[in-house]
Structures are given as structure tokens and as C-alpha cells.
């Protein structure tokens, strides 16, 4: 798929509320919004799922902007959240805050219900009380679960998740649809596929592998390394999100209930895959890290982990049709940029 010339939506003066602003995607998105003249209110719990120091370092890049403000709080304990929403009166809400991680959902399921279900309900209720022009929220490729048909299409069913994390994300899509239908909240769900890049999450494989290789420690390869992922570089993710902001869904009176699809609805609600549409073998990703570091990895082969899937691949035809863009950064280019950031950030 070819991409047209860069598109920069007119965001000057727009009030955008970003939850999870100290997170990986939220930080990059806030930077991009501020660069385009938006006024951004960030909200984040700064929880300890991974080192809060990295979240604070991301925030330190944002706070010098005069058009950025930040509130710390938890959506499921909504006092600070409701006060911020009422005072800021956002035109656009981009909800990225969540309890992330597939494997951690096996250890602490309550955290996912609190953050991903109760937290999202707080977002929807705020948008109900203070109508917004567009609610964009994070879903995940994990909703596809046991689906073996690739590439994964938004028009396929997504009712067999293999992790509680994936189940909460599918629940978010259903919750957003119901609020879009009942209260005319234009809502767009984004099914992210293995997002990676500078300032990324330390629990992700590419980050753990880089750390281990530099330390001379073995890297753990589950399913004996026979995994493929649709690695999606962060800059491509942000471009897709910026392009979708002006595309608030409209009601679809012609929706065909005899051929139901999660991608569309009669309500003003749509779902898009955000993926590189090019699944990469795990060994190719490791080779890219080895090349960027100039060091070889020591491999430890392990069995498949509960909640994992062997391969992911995004069908991005709907995204391309909607906004004329599809992610395309190669794993070699993306990993090289990540490793350069990692070595500079950690002095490694």
C-alpha cells in the first residue's frame, strides 16, 4: 500500500484530553498534538506496573510546553478525573490509560477490571455528561484471540479472547458502542498491534531483549522462538491517530444486521486495526537488535506461555480507505531508532 504526502490536521487551539499521557503511546501522542498547536490536558495514574521513573522522564519532556497540563489520578476513583473533565471541557478525548500486559492479567486480574472496565466506564460517563466531538480509545489486537484467519480483519468476529486483558479490550469496544448508540458519542476504537519504539514499555520483548543482550544474559524465546508479530513503529501509530481525529464516526442507517461486523455499526462507532500489516518472525526482530547493538544474543528456548498467540497480522484496508495511510516502517529501521534511544537514555 502506498502512502500519500504527510497530513497534518488543523489542531491549533483544540482542547484534547489524553489519558495515559505518561505512557508510551500517550507521551508520543501528546508531543505530536502540542507540536500542532493543540492544548493538551494529560491524565495518568503513574502506577508501578513498570518503573515510574520512565513515566516521570516522559512527563519531564511534556511539562515545559505552556499548552500542557497534567493531573495524576485513577479513573476508577474518579474525583480528580471528573474535576479535570468539567474544568477543561475537552473537545476531543483520547483514552489510552489501561492496565497493559497479557501475562500479568494471569497474576492480577482485578487490576484489569478496575483500570480497563471501571476506568473506561468513568471515561464514557464523563463524555455523556460533557459531550465531545470525538472519543478515540485504545483497544488491542488481543481481541482476536483464537482467530486463526490472517490477516486479522475488523470484519471478523472477535469473541474468543485467550487472556483477560483481551477480554477487557473487547468489552471496551462493546461499552463504547452502547454509549455511542444511547448518547450519540462519536467513538473510534483502535486495535493496536505490538507497538514499539523509543520511550517504549520495558515489559515488551524488544526492550527486554536489548537489555539482556547488553548485559550478556540469555533472552527468553517462548514457543521455542516460533512466533510472528505485526510490529508497528510508534511514529506510524501516531500518524494514524492524528489522521483519525477529524474523522468522527457518523451514524450508519444502512448497517446490515444480517451480516454483523465489529468494524461498523448503526451507531456512530467504528473500529480500526493499527498495524504494520507485515508479520515479522521473532528471529528477524532479534537479528535487527543484534545488528543495531553489534552483539549476538544468547537464546533460551521455552514453551508457549498461557494467553499468547503464535502470530498476529493486521488487515489495514479500512484504515487506508478512511484516512489514506497505513503503517510501513520496517523492523530494521524501527529497531535501529529504538536502540539508539535506549543507549542514549541508559548510557549503555
Which position among 27, 49, 144, 165 bears the catalytic label? 165
Residue listed under C-alpha cell 492479567? 105
In the prediction, which pLDDT does 3 show?
A: 44
Between 198 and 4, residue with greater pLDDT? 198
Report domain extents, the chain: 15-195+233-275+314-323
Q: How confident is the model at residue 256 (pLDDT cuts 50, 70, 90)?
A: confident
In the prediction, which pLDDT does 310 show?
A: 81
Between 302 and 234, residue with greater pLDDT? 234
pLDDT of 4 strictly over 60: no
Mean pLDDT of 20-45: 97
CA gap 240, 244 in Å, rounded: 6
**Residues 107, 163: contact at Cβ < 8 Å?**
no
In the prediction, which pLDDT does 8 show?
A: 59
HSE (CB half, 13 Å, CA atoms) of 85?
A: 24
HSE (CB half, 13 Å, CA atoms) of 140?
A: 25
**Residues 184, 268: contact at Cβ < 8 Å?**
yes
Any catalytic annotation for residue 179?
no
Q: What's phi and psi for 124, nearest 5 deg?
A: -65, -40
| Average of per-residue pLDDT values in the chain | 92
In the prediction, which pLDDT does 224 show?
A: 81
pLDDT of 6 strictly over 60: no
pLDDT in tens, 98-130: 998 888 888 899 999 999 999 999 999 999 999
In the prediction, which pLDDT does 343 show?
A: 98
Mean pLDDT of 197-213: 97
The beta-carbon contacts of 300-303 under 8 Å, at least 24 apart in sequence, are: 300/218, 300/219, 300/220, 300/221, 301/221, 301/224, 301/225, 302/220, 302/221, 302/222, 302/223, 302/224, 303/222, 303/223, 303/224
pLDDT in tens, 142-178: 999 988 888 999 999 898 999 999 999 999 999 999 9
Between 257 and 54, residue with greater pLDDT? 54
The CATH number of 15-195+233-275+314-323 is 3.40.50.720
Grouping H, G, I as helix, E, B as strand and the rest as coil, residue 46 is: coil
Q: How confident is the model at residue 307 (pLDDT cuts 50, 70, 90)?
A: low
Mean pLDDT of 9-27: 94
Lowest-confidence segment of 40-44, 209-213, 311-315, 344-348 by average pLDDT: 311-315
What is the DSSP annotation of 151-174?
Answer: SB-TTS-----SSHHHHHHHHHHH
Amino acid at each position: 500500500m502506498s502512502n500519500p504526502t504527510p497530513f497534518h490536521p488543523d489542531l491549533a487551539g483544540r482542547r484534547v484530553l489524553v489519558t495515559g499521557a505518561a505512557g508510551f503511546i500517550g507521551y508520543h501522542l501528546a508531543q505530536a498534538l502540542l507540536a500542532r498547536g493543540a492544548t493538551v490536558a494529560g491524565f495518568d495514574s503513574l502506577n508501578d506496573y513498570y518503573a515510574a521513573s520512565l513515566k516521570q522522564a516522559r512527563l519531564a519532556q511534556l511539562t515545559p510546553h505552556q499548552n500542557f497540563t497534567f493531573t495524576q489520578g485513577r479513573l476508577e476513583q474518579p474525583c480528580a478525573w471528573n474535576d479535570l473533565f468539567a474544568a477543561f471541557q475537552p473537545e476531543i478525548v483520547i483514552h489510552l490509560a489501561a492496565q497493559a500486559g497479557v501475562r500479568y492479567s494471569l497474576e492480577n486480574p482485578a487490576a484489569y477490571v478496575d483500570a480497563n472496565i471501571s476506568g473506561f466506564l468513568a471515561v464514557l460517563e464523563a463524555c455523556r455528561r460533557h459531550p465531545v466531538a470525538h472519543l478515540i480509545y485504545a483497544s488491542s489486537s488481543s481481541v482476536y484471540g483464537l482467530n486463526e484467519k490472517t490477516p486479522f480483519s475488523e470484519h471478523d468476529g472477535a469473541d474468543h479472547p485467550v487472556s483477560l486483558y483481551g477480554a477487557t479490550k473487547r468489552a471496551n469496544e462493546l461499552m463504547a458502542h452502547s454509549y455511542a448508540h444511547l448518547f450519540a458519542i462519536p467513538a473510534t476504537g483502535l486495535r493496536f498491534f505490538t507497538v514499539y519504539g523509543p520511550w517504549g514499555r520495558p515489559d515488551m520483548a524488544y526492550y527486554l531483549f536489548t537489555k539482556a543482550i547488553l548485559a550478556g544474559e540469555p533472552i527468553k524465546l517462548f514457543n521455542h522462538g516460533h512466533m510472528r508479530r505485526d510490529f508497528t513503529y510508534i511514529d506510524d501509530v501516531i500518524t494514524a491517530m492524528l489522521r483519525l481525529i477529524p474523522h468522527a464516526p457518523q451514524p450508519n442507517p444502512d448497517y446490515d444486521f444480517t451480516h454483523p461486523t465489529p468494524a461498523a455499526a448503526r451507531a456512530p462507532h467504528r473500529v480500526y486495526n493499527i498495524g504494520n500489516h507485515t508479520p515479522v518472525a521473532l528471529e528477524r526482530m532479534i537479528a535487527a537488535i543484534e545488528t543495531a547493538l553489534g552483539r549476538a544474543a544468547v537464546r533460551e528456548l521455552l514453551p508457549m506461555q498461557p494467553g499468547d498467540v503464535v502470530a498476529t497480522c493486521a488487515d489495514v484496508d479500512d484504515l487506508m480507505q478512511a484516512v489514506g495511510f497505513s503503517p510501513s516502517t520496517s523492523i530494521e529501521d524501527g529497531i535501529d531508532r529504538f536502540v539508539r534511544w535506549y543507549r542514549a537514555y541508559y548510557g549503555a
